[in-house]
Chain A
Amino acid sequence: MIYLIILILFLIIILFLTVKNKIKALKIISISSISAGILTIIVGYIFKYIILNVTHEVNLSIISNTILSKFIKNSLILISIGFLELLSTKIIKS
């Protein structure tokens, strides 16, 4: 997990170095964060579908819904971070 966080920080740094306009770079990061949040929800629904199809002998809805709710929570965190970054670009611009 720590390697993923290091990779994310590394990519953010490279992006800031590559894009001259730092506000534009922050905007790109915010859109990436929001997109990752949306993708996380999709992944959550895929996991839900997989779990429900593990067995049909018993109903695993409780398990799949609990796991989906965790995906949605993480997704909302990513989306919120994205919108906060977008808001901060507007504040910096003004």
Chain B
Amino acid sequence: MKNKKIILVVLIVILLILTCTIASTYAVIINVTNKNGILEIVNKITIKDLLINDNGTYNSTYYNVINTLDITDNEASTLMESESLNEKLQIVLNTVVDYKINNNVTAKLSNDEIYNLIVDGINNTNNITEELKNKVITKSSEYINDVSDFLYDIEVSLLEDY
């Protein structure tokens, strides 16, 4: 009888620990996947964050971009630090999240819309040379399909899937 009681208590404790952990995890998932949670995360992300590894080195996407645009590291730095471009990035990221996680097909921006955001971002960037401006605008027009594919085809798995 005593042994049975001990087994029951152990079982209850295990269930309690698991249930509390699941509840805590679920609370995080709810927080992160609601509109405010997504906004909170997306509004923190900058172009530089996406292109730099944790050890401070640039990732392969950075080098692909500068090779495609045929720009120097300094010019890339100007683009990465552009407040206007970062604001446009956040607009795009919100649509990517909406499209991929909420399965909202209407959220996906068209190539023209993405292109217009880039042009607007570039035109509102301070301390940018006309040459760099023209390079980005010209190349964006050429590669807009690739940009759109890159943004909307990145594999994003919902946390709940795990």
The residues of A with any CB-CB pair to B shorter than 8 Å are: 1, 4-5, 7-8, 11-12, 14-15, 18-19, 28-29, 31-33, 35-37, 39-40, 43-44, 47, 50-51, 54-59, 61-63, 66-67, 70-71, 74-75, 77-78
Contact call A59/B53, Cβ cutoff below 8 A: yes
Q: B residues within 8 A CB of A29? A: 16
Q: B residues within 8 A CB of A28? A: 9, 13
Contact call B44/A62, Cβ cutoff below 8 A: yes
Interface of B is mostly: helix
CB distance from B26 to the nearest CB of A (A): 6
Tell which of A1, A12, A31 touches B26, judged by Cβ atoms closer than 8 Å.
Answer: A1
7 contacts between A and B (CB under 8 A): A8-B23, A11-B15, A39-B21, A40-B25, A47-B159, A57-B60, A78-B24
Q: A residues within 8 A CB of B104? A: none
Known: A11-B15, A70-B28. 20 other contacts (CB 8 A): A1-B26, A15-B16, A18-B5, A32-B20, A39-B21, A40-B21, A44-B28, A50-B159, A50-B162, A56-B60, A57-B59, A58-B51, A58-B59, A58-B61, A61-B49, A62-B44, A62-B49, A66-B40, A67-B159, A71-B28
Contact call B53/A36, Cβ cutoff below 8 A: no
Q: B residues within 8 A CB of A58? A: 50-51, 59, 61, 154
Does chain A have a CB within 8 A of B126?
A: no
A58, B49: Cα distance in complex, Å: 8
Contact call B17/A55, Cβ cutoff below 8 A: no
Residue of B nearest to A75 (CB): B24
Residue of B nearest to A42 (CB): B21
How many chain B residues touch A (CB < 8 A): the figure is: 42
CB distance from B66 to the nearest CB of A (A): 15
Q: B residues within 8 A CB of A47? A: 28, 159, 162
3 smallest CB-CB distances across A and B, nearest first, come from A36-B20, A58-B50, A4-B23
Residue of A nearest to B25 (CB): A43
CB distance from A62 to the nearest CB of B (A): 5
Known contacts A54-B155, A59-B52; A8 and B16 CB within 8 A of each other:
yes
Q: A residues within 8 A CB of B50? A: 58-59
Residue of B nearest to A40 (CB): B24
Tell which of A19, A33, A57, A63 touches B61, judged by Cβ atoms closer than 8 Å.
Answer: A57
Which of B28, B54, B150: most chain A Cβ within 10 A? B28
